[in-house]
Amino acid sequence: MIKEYSKNSPRDDKGMTAPRKRMPEDATVVDINDPEFIRRFVTEQGKILPIRISGLTAAQQRRLKTGVRRARNIGLSM
């Protein structure tokens, strides 16, 4: 049986869907002083993961984007 995937589900090279990284439900503010938290949503090159990979809602992604940019400005190493 062939398993079909939606176009939005990220897959690795074996065709398996990647686990989604979820922001905690009670996280209304991204803590820019917690590099471990921010590192979960940033690639090794420093790019912010897109919504389709991070699995965040649009509002959460906007808060994350702001938090990552602020962390970069204060010079935290991610």
Say if 68 falls within a structural domain: yes
Say if 54 falls within a structural domain: yes
Apex 68 CA angle, 67 and 70, nearest 5 = 65
Taking only the tens place, the pLDDT of each residue in 22-33 is 666 655 667 878
**Helix, coil or strand: residue 42:** strand
* Residue 1, pLDDT above cutoff 80: no
* pLDDT for position 31: 80
* 65: nearest Cα among 47, 44, 43: 47
53 Cβ partners below 8 Å, 6+ apart? 10, 18, 20, 21
> In terms of pLDDT, which residue wins out, 34 or 50?
50
Say if 60 falls within a structural domain: yes
Number of domains in the chain: 1
Say if 18 falls within a structural domain: no
Say if 17 falls within a structural domain: no
Provide the residue range defining the domain that includes 45.
Answer: 35-73
Taking only the tens place, the pLDDT of each residue in 42-66 is 999 989 999 999 888 898 899 899 9
pLDDT level of residue 76 (50, 70, 90 thresholds): confident
Say if 2 falls within a structural domain: no
